[in-house]
Each structure stands twice: as C-alpha cells, then as structure tokens.
Amino acid sequence: MMSRSALAAWTTREAQGLRHPSASSVLAGLSLALAAAYAVAIVRSGGDALLLIPLIGALAVLGILAHPAVGIYILFGSAILFEQFLVPGLSPITQYSRIFQNLSVYTPIPIRLSLVDLLILLIAVGLAAQRLRARHEPLRMGVFGWAILGYFAVFLLGIVIGVARGGAWKPDVALNELRAPVHLCVSYFLAANLLRERRQLQVIMWLFVVIVGIKALQAVLNYFEAQSLPFWLDAVSSHEDVVLWIPAIGLMLVALVLGIRTKLAYAIFAVQPIILAAQFLSNRRVGFIALGVTLVVVTVLLFFSHPRRAAVIVALGAVLVVSYTLLFWEAEGPVAEPLRALRTIVEPSSLPVVDQLSNTWRDIENGNIAFTVKQLPLTGVGLGQRYLFEREPAEVPFEYWRFITHNAPLWLWLKAGPIGAFALWFLVARALLVSAALYRRHTDPSLRLVIALPIALVVSQIVFSSVELGLTYSRTMIALGTALGLASLVAAQHPPAQARPTP
C-alpha cells in the first residue's frame, strides 16, 4: 500500500505535470493530434496519397534537425540519384524530381532556391543547434578546409571582377556559376563536422555503391528504351553519371588487391557488371578516357601497399588492353566504344561525322578561351560576363554557352584569372597528396577503401571537366565535397598506425 505522504507527493507531481507539461509530452500530444487529423483527411479525400507529402516533409525536417547527419545521407544520396538536367529523348523517373531547380521555376512560390539549397540550409541549422547544445565543441576545418575556402573565394573574386567590368553583367548567370562551388564548399564542411563515427563512413560508402549501381541499371534500361526511338541519341544517361560510375570501378580494384571480403566489398563486386555495361552503353568518350586515367592513378596508389599485386595488375591490364585493341580496332557498336575514345587521340580523322563536329566545336571554343586569356591575362572576364570570341561557333542548346566553357579548368582562368586556376589546382593537389598519404600510412584495409573514394572522384572529375561542364554540376560537386569530408574524418578520428613493411 502507498503511504499518505507518497500518495500526496505523487499527486503533487502529477498536478505540476499537468500545469507544466514537458517538451516530450507536448510533442507526443501534437503527434497524436496530427495523426488523427491526417487520418480524417485521408478518409474524407478517398485516400489521396498526395496528402502524405507534407507529412513526410515534416518528418524529414524534424529528423534532420534532431540528427543532422541524416541530412548528409539524404543530400549525398539525392545528388547521385536524381538528374540535374533532363535526359533528351528519354524519361527516367528520377529526372522529374526537379530538386536542383529553383522553386520559382515550377511553383508559384517566389523563392529562388532549389530543394537541394533548402536541404543544405536545414542541415546547417541542425548543425548550429547541435553545436549550441555542445558549446565546448568548435566547428572543424578539416584537412582540406583552407583549400576549399580558397577555391570558393576565387568565385567571390570573380563576382567582384564581373561587376567592376560593368557592361552586360548578368547577375542571374553569376549566381548560376556560383551555385556548384557553393555546394562543394558547404557539403564538405557539413560532412567534416557531422560525420564523426566509423559507422557513418560505412553508411556513406553503402549509399555510394548502391545508388551508383541503381543509376547504372537505369542507364542500361534507358539504352534498350532508346532502341525503339525513331532518332539517334547522343547519350542514354546524364553526362555527369560517368564521373560517379568510374570511382566505383576503382573501388573494385582496390578491394580486390587489398583482399577485402566484407559485405560492402561483395556489394562492390556485385554491381560491377551493371556499371561496366552502363559504361559501354553510355556513348561517352570522355568516360573511357577518365576511366583509364583513374585506374592508372588507383594502381599507383596500390603500389604503396601491395607492390607485387599491383605489378600483376599492370601486367594483366597491359595484356588485356593490347589484345582488345587488336581484336576490336575496326569494330563498331558498344563493344568498341573505348577504342572510339582512343581514336579521338590517335586518328581523329577516322571518327564519325558527329564526333568530328564535336571536336571542331571544342577546338573553336579553346581558341576563344586562348583569345580571352590574351586580352585579359590577369583578371579574366569575371562571373556573369561573356568570355570573348575571336571566332563565332555554332549555337548549342545550352543557355549559358557564352559564359561557361566545356574546358572547365580553363573556365576558372576566364572567370578569375591565374588566381582562379591556381586555387583549383591547389585544391586538386591537396586532395590527392593528403589522401595518398593517409592511404599509405593506414594499415586498415577498410579505411584504405574509404580513402580511395575521394582520390578516384577527384581524378575522374578533373578528366571529365577538361572537356565537359564538370565544375558546374551540383551533383558531382556535392558527391566530391562529401567524399573529401570522409577523408577529413579519417585524418581526424583515426590516427595512422606505425608504418610497417608490407609482406
């Protein structure tokens, strides 16, 4: 039996609880009320599924505010899964999400921010709230922080140059040019500060492997859909998808040489046939060139840890490349796509007319880039300004083709002068050298696999960007920023063991 004093104390506490309910009690009550309201609304609307969208959005907002790292997972996965631009002639369901378009473009909401921008702001708010709760824990720069900030700073310099030159400065174009660098910078700092545990590394790695496999499968299905079309397609997937497929192939080589036999490694091996099929069917010459360069860099990396196995890989690779070249040099179709990329270099006159026209257009563009650099060698034209034309090329179906060049590394020079070019290559060198040092000093194969991801992404991104608009794609910039955040976590939370010789 409860004593009178205990009963009185219990009654007093209950009365105080009714007068001053806790936050959890209030939240529970609101949740029940919201659930009841939604149940009534769904019944009265006849089961309209669109009513669930606000509920899902509200739950996502609450989840990200409570656990901001969840937002990083959503941001990283969405960047890989959803297209930034439409795939001409095809209709994959992922291209209709419009998460990279401003809300003002397709809704009456007058907000010139995309869903990705709003997601990034939400994650940042969650991070700020987390740091306020743990006041003793400052924000981290990470090993790439200053290089990332320097890269972003040259775009701010480009805006100053563009405004100072006056004339036909276009603020809308300047903001468009600025968006992808902002996404790179912000995604890096969010990842560097929110990813704190080893299991979070594995979540990001699993997301990368699984969603890249899904995109590769989608490309294969797109190829078969394209066979029934009455016209020829330039590509069966978004151009930047190859930047994401290639690192997955590099991870396979790393896992194979290191002898990793985890579930993640088996998943990497399992998706390889799909990714390789998509690589062959995607009709992207730069994809095969980037794949070759990335595999060379990854093999050099493997010499640090397993020189004998890496030497065997080099020997086998040489035999396969020579045999393949001899057998399929005159072949046509998807099986000969890698050789089409090689013929671009050694025999450009033997290419199809479409490829020759593409090469000619890029030659004119490179000539105009050189002309602009000669006219404005120290400052460039600035963001929001057209670069200068010595020779007028044919128009292409890209809104900003007079402002952004296919040769993205030189585009930095056009927008901010040699300082812009230096900031890009300093970031690339910093990312490769620090990541390679981490790989060499660590002895844990699983951590080495994680470190190989940003290395492969940087290489594939730069090779792709040399002939494409690679540095202006938010998808690849978000993926790269998050991957660099992974390497930063490895550097901060997993001090390398004492170096010992590899047997």
- Residue that wins the pLDDT comparison between 41 and 139: 139
3-state SS track over 159-201: HHHHHHHCCCCCHHHHHHHHHHHHHHHHHHHHHHHHCCCHHHH
Minimal CA–CA distance to 287: which of 471, 456, 460, 85?
Answer: 460
What tokens appear for 41 in the block? 């609304």
DSSP 496: P
Q: How many domains does the chain have?
A: 1
Query: Is 82 domain-assigned?
Result: no
- Over residues 17-29, mean pLDDT: 51
Q: Tokens 């579930």: give the residue.
A: 263
Query: Is 46 domain-assigned?
Result: no
Q: What is the largest CA-CA distance in the chain?
A: 100
Minimal CA–CA distance to 297: which of 188, 457, 479, 144?
Answer: 457
| Alpha carbon distances (Å) from 121 to 112, 124, 292 | 14, 5, 37
Query: Is 289 domain-assigned?
Result: yes
Dihedral sign, Cα of residue 27, residue 33, residue 39, residue 41 = negative
Give the count of beta carbons closer than 10 Å to the beta carbon of residue 38.
Answer: 14
Contact between 305 and 247 (Cβ < 8 Å): no
List the single range of 223-232, 255-264, 289-298 with lowest mean pLDDT.
223-232
Per residue in 111-129, pLDDT (tens digit) is 888 889 999 999 999 888 8
Query: Is 56 domain-assigned?
Result: no
Query: Is 20 domain-assigned?
Result: no
Buried (b) or exposed (e) across 65-74, using 16+ Cβ within 10 A? Answer: beebbbbbbb
Query: Is 414 domain-assigned?
Result: yes
Query: Is 336 domain-assigned?
Result: yes
Length of the chain: 503
User: How high is the pLDDT of residue 57?
Assistant: 65
Q: Which domain holds residue 356?
A: 144-493
Per residue in 261-296, pLDDT (tens digit) is 999 999 999 999 999 999 888 878 888 889 999 999
User: How high is the pLDDT of residue 499?
Assistant: 42
What tokens appear for 274 in the block? 């799909």
Dihedral sign, Cα of residue 272, residue 273, residue 274, residue 275 = positive
pLDDT classification of 224: cutoffs 50, 70, 90? confident
Write down the pTM of the prediction.
0.85
Q: Tokens 């951590």: give the residue.
A: 447
Q: Tokens 């174009």: give the residue.
A: 173
Per residue in 160-200, pLDDT (tens digit) is 999 998 888 898 889 999 999 999 999 999 999 998 888 89
Contact between 233 and 253 (Cβ < 8 Å): no
Separation CA 51–CA 423 (nearest Å): 47
Per residue in 408-418, pLDDT (tens digit) is 888 999 999 99
User: How high is the pLDDT of residue 247?
Assistant: 95
Separation CA 291–CA 463 (nearest Å): 9
